Structure 1
Amino acid sequence: MFNQGICYPRHGAPEEVLSYEKLPLIKLDDREVRIEIQASTIHPSDLGLIQGSYGLLRPLPAIGGREGVGKIVEVGSAVTEEVMNKIVAVPDLVGAWQAYCNCHVDNLILLPALIPYAQLAVSILNPMTAWRLLNDFEYLKEGDIVIQNAGNSAVGVSVVQFAKRMGLRCVSLVRSEKRMQELIDFGAEEVWLDDEEVPKRTEEYTNGKGCSLVLNSVGGRSATRLAKCLKSGGVHVTFGAMNGEPVRFPTRNLIFDDVRFVGFWLDRWRRQKTKAQIRNALEEILQPLALTEVSYPIDSFFSLDEFPQAFQRNAQSRFGKVLFAKDKQALMDSMN
């Protein structure tokens, strides 16, 4: 038995530095388990890690991928056999784009057993970001209005679902009518085109009161439009920069409306929390998934050796995540 993975020896464009390689299986320590990875996803932050632009980089050479799901298939000599076949999250730092990885038993994150692997593979990073955005920056009451750009993104879809569960009204902005219809079909109630009419339309929608919270992952003019949608004292949170343009805040709103501009990075949030706090936070996002109260759109599946095609698809306009799968057909069947 051998391992295999998608690796990069240096930073650079994915098409230039990534390669599919056979890897040795690392011997288990006494308190480690071996995880057979069933599915993993491609996140924008994965590209930042490969390109060398992310906020926290891995030692090189590295295996790609931050999030995935697997099954425990082997345990170390000091680990009880009871954990065999448990479904767990792939540890963040080991690289999720591989067939197997090791994990210390104390660091295992158990996942709901009856949920399809495809859903579990995307159940932590983006949903956790969405949950923190809705709960950490403003005291939101039932009926409060939140507006976000990139509403069809993985975080955006999570925000839509969690906001609904919290009794909030959520407005999602997207860039095309096709994306509008997809998000509406997924259950979003207010979906608008991200254009210059957004501030005026927001004023009408909120009866002149404005939004309590705006969520920006795009930047540029879109972020500026969002700032003009805030109520007095509202909060503008930036957690991404999809178009690479700087966020320019409207001075008038900053001064006269006392709005706040803040940022959020999930990695920093996690470093500030204890293991117990993180596990409690995970329970808040995994319970709705286990109860099938939320779900996450999946676009397509690829095997590890098909990574060039996977990245090509990931670069295209789509609704849902691109996944690497141990068994593509089984994962596709589980989604039907």
Structure 2
Amino acid sequence: MDRSMDLQKAIRHHEFGKPEEVLTLESILVPKPRTGEVRVRLLVASINPSDRGMIGGSYGKLRELPAIAGREAVGVVDTLGKGVEGVAIGTKVRFPGEDGAWCEFACARAEDLLVVPDGVLDEQAAMSFINPPTAYCLLKKVIDLEPGSWLVQNAGNSAVGISVIQMAKAMGLKTISQVRRESLIPPLKALGADHVVLEGSDWGAQRDQLTDGEPICLALNSIGGASAIDQIKVLAEGGTQVTFGGMVGDPVRFPTRYLIFKDVRLVGFWWDRWSRTHGSNGVSGVMAEVYKMMTSGVLCLPIEQVYLFEEFEAAMKHDLKPRLGKVLLCPR
């Protein structure tokens, strides 16, 4: 059925600002695939901290206004454009999110599609394109970690943090996860965390007891501020801290003595940049490893609640509450 003149639902904003103030549910035209393109129908979309940054005008490459919100979603091929071969209608793929993912339909070049294996559930697939590959790269692409190596991460209950815990367990790595609420300790331990410690508890003083005297080689920082400093203090000589987020927005006032006397390294990581510099082959290789872990049961991301598009305001409010799982959106 030709839906090129039909209308679709889309969550958009006409200015940058707080999501609760600028987002609206609107009707826009369903796109028609051009030659070499396919149209994808949305199944499920996720809500990420970076979505708030893009809506607020402070994250990455901003879209032209009015803009469709959202970056991460899964869909199925709905229509083939002229000249498209080797792609079947109904194939599950990453929803084209460059121009926004919180809409019912979008088009993409057939050659750019990222196919999702049949064994990956829709909700898991919707959460698979940003945080799990980030976690995988943090563990495999920054420094060489031998089995038995120790790492520390803050925001242990975040989507990246949960992915790191499960992946590290499968790789034979050992984790210390920093969290802000004691109630998060049991569920993270159940997911495979070796140790879960409370922020501000002076846990660094027990470093040697936690690791049996083994060095901490890697620190994963997505918060900043005092939490990042706590990590730097426990890093081994020559250790590396990777910053891939700044949830609290506080600067890291780094004690220079750790640079001079311990040769601690500070580096950054952004999955979007890594994807651009390594191209489709690099991305496909990482995603193949992610999906291998998902289909084997190694990696399973918790879900907090799924909301309809019409309930997006409640979904955005829920996303701000303390929780363990992801808040998701679906069009119907």
What does residue 192 of structure 1 align with?
197
- Tell me how far apart the structure 1 counterparts of residues 221 and 54 of structure 2 sit (CA, whole Å): 21
- Tell me how far apart the structure 1 counterparts of residues 264 and 136 of structure 2 sit (CA, whole Å): 21
Instruction: Give ranges in structure 1 of 5+ residues lacking alignment.
Output: 328-336
Q: CA deviation at 1:82?
A: 4.8
Q: Is the 8 A contact 1:171 1:191 kept in 2?
A: yes
Instruction: Indicate which of 310, 317, 323 corresponds to 1:312.
Output: 317
What does residue 151 of structure 1 align with?
156
- Tell me how far apart the structure 2 counterparts of residues 109 and 228 of structure 1 sit (CA, whole Å): 40
Q: Residue by residue, what CA displacement relative to the aligned partner does 1:56-77 show, whole Å, maximum 9, x if unpaired? A: 2112211011000001121112
**Which secondary structure does the structure 2 equivalent of 1:130 belong to?**
helix
Q: Is the 8 A contact 1:298 1:321 kept in 2?
A: yes
- Tell me how far apart the structure 2 counterparts of residues 170 and 318 of structure 1 sit (CA, whole Å): 21
Q: CA deviation at 1:209?
A: 4.2
Q: Is the 8 A contact 1:147 1:171 kept in 2?
A: yes
Q: CA deviation at 1:22?
A: 0.6
Instruction: Indicate which of 102, 107, 110 corresponds to 1:105.
Output: 110
**Measured at CA, do residues 81 and 159 of structure 1 come closer, stay the same or move farther in structure 2, by a change above 3 Å?**
closer
- Tell me how far apart the structure 1 counterparts of residues 84 and 218 of structure 2 sit (CA, whole Å): 46
**Which secondary structure does the structure 1 equivalent of 2:278 belong to?**
coil
With 117-126 and 179-188 compared, the bigger mean Cα shift is at 179-188
- Tell me how far apart the structure 2 counterparts of residues 196 and 245 of structure 1 sit (CA, whole Å): 19
Q: Percent identity?
A: 40
Instruction: Indicate which of 235, 238, 241 corresponds to 1:230.
Output: 235
Give 1:300's aligned amino acid: Q
- Tell me how far apart the structure 2 counterparts of residues 217 and 69 of structure 1 sit (CA, whole Å): 25
Q: Is the 8 A contact 1:217 1:242 kept in 2?
A: yes
Alignment of 1:24 onto 2:39: no
Q: CA deviation at 1:113?
A: 1.3
Q: CA deviation at 1:189?
A: 2.7
Q: Is the 8 A contact 1:209 1:231 kept in 2?
A: no
- Tell me how far apart the structure 2 counterparts of residues 233 and 92 of structure 1 sit (CA, whole Å): 39
What does residue 7 of structure 1 align with?
12
Instruction: Indicate which of 265, 268, 277 corresponds to 1:272.
Output: 277
- Tell me how far apart the structure 1 counterparts of residues 27 and 143 of structure 2 sit (CA, whole Å): 48
Q: CA deviation at 1:55?
A: 2.4
- Tell me how far apart the structure 2 counterparts of residues 187 and 231 of structure 1 sit (CA, whole Å): 23
**Measured at CA, do residues 244 and 274 of structure 1 come closer, stay the same or move farther in structure 2, by a change above 3 Å?**
same
Instruction: Give ranges in structure 2 of 5+ residues lacking alignment.
Output: 1-5
What does residue 52 of structure 1 align with?
57
What does residue 165 of structure 1 align with?
170
Q: Within 5 Å, which residues of 2 pair with 1:257-336? A: 257-327=262-332
Alignment of 1:62 onto 2:55: no
Alignment of 1:250 onto 2:255: yes
- Tell me how far apart the structure 2 counterparts of residues 281 and 185 of structure 1 sit (CA, whole Å): 26
Instruction: Indicate which of 181, 194, 204 corresponds to 1:176.
Output: 181
**Which secondary structure does the structure 2 equivalent of 1:6 belong to?**
strand
Query: Over the residues paired in the alignment, what is the CA RMSD in angstroms?
Result: 1.4
What does residue 333 of structure 1 align with?
none
Give 1:249's aligned amino acid: F
With 180-189 and 299-308 compared, the bigger mean Cα shift is at 180-189
Q: CA deviation at 1:326?
A: 3.3
Q: Is the 8 A contact 1:203 1:229 kept in 2?
A: no
- Tell me how far apart the structure 2 counterparts of residues 94 and 69 of structure 1 sit (CA, whole Å): 14
**Which secondary structure does the structure 1 equivalent of 2:220 belong to?**
strand
Q: Is the 8 A contact 2:36 2:110 kept in 1?
A: yes
Q: CA deviation at 1:197?
A: 1.5
Q: CA deviation at 1:182?
A: 2.2
Q: Is the 8 A contact 2:228 2:252 kept in 1?
A: yes
Q: Is the 8 A contact 1:303 1:325 kept in 2?
A: yes
Give 1:102's aligned amino acid: C
Q: CA deviation at 1:157?
A: 0.4
- Tell me how far apart the structure 2 counterparts of residues 118 and 21 of structure 1 sit (CA, whole Å): 24
Aligned residues: 327
Q: Is the 8 A contact 1:196 1:225 kept in 2?
A: no
Q: CA deviation at 1:109?
A: 0.4
Q: Is the 8 A contact 1:172 1:191 kept in 2?
A: yes
TM-score, scaled to structure 2? 0.95
Q: CA deviation at 1:9?
A: 1.2
